[in-house]
Amino acid sequence: MHCNEEVSDASHAAAATPGRARASFSQNVGLVGVMGVTSPMVCVAGGVIMILLGLLPKVAFVAASIPQSVLGGAGIVMFGMVAATGIRILATVDYEKQRGNPIIVACAIGFGMIPLVAPTLFRAAPEMLRTLLDSGILLATIAAVALNAFFNGAAVATDAPVVVSDQP
């Protein structure tokens, strides 16, 4: 079973229960960045359209006839927006006062690139573990969280109200 099948099975099971789907897609970040629409009703309308496309084959044929070059161009813009959102988030990081932050970013990007530059690196790992290790996003996240905990420790809330009492 591939990772996508496992996610799909978990999402189907979640749909039959009060749970939520177990997958998020970076395309959503790109779409929100391009369109600027965050209303849940847009998702509902998209779901209704998808159901209609499934029930009306002639309408689905029209949607399926969109040229690959148009879809490719839209994909470039969407995933470019994902990258731009990541860059925008990284621009808010303090690289001067917290000297470990550049190392965190560099190592996270490096770990995230492993599946692209060395796809056979984890071939000796067990199948279940290999499914996880083949995800650059997961590797980058683990590296970033672990290194952030190492370099910066746990964050302490500074805006919590302080209560002072005269009673012992």
Can you give the residue ranges of every domain in the chain?
Answer: 24-92, 94-152
Closest of 36, 14, 39, 37 to residue 24, by C-alpha: 14
| 138/55 Cα distance (integer angstroms) | 37
- pTM reported for the whole predicted model: 0.57
What is residue 2's predicted lDDT score, i.e. its pLDDT? Answer: 43
Q: What pLDDT sits at residue 14?
A: 60
- Reference 111, options 97, 101, 121; nearest CA is 121
Block mean pLDDT (10 aa), the chain, length 168? 48 60 61 77 86 87 89 87 85 87 93 91 87 88 92 67 56
pLDDT value for 165: 53
> For 111-129, b where at least 16 C-beta lie within 10 A, e where not — what string?
bbebbeeeeeebeeeeeee
Residue 97, pLDDT score? 86
DSSP 8-state secondary structure symbol assigned to residue 93: S
Q: How many Å apart are CA 14 and CA 12, to the nearest integer?
A: 5
Residue 8 CB partners (closer than 8 Å, separation 6+): 23
Q: Can you give the pLDDT at residue 113?
A: 93
How many whole angstroms separate alpha carbon 154 and alpha carbon 161? 19
Q: What pLDDT is stored for residue 70 in this prediction?
A: 92
Helix residue ranges, H only, the chain: 3-15, 26-35, 40-55, 57-64, 68-91, 101-117, 127-133, 136-152
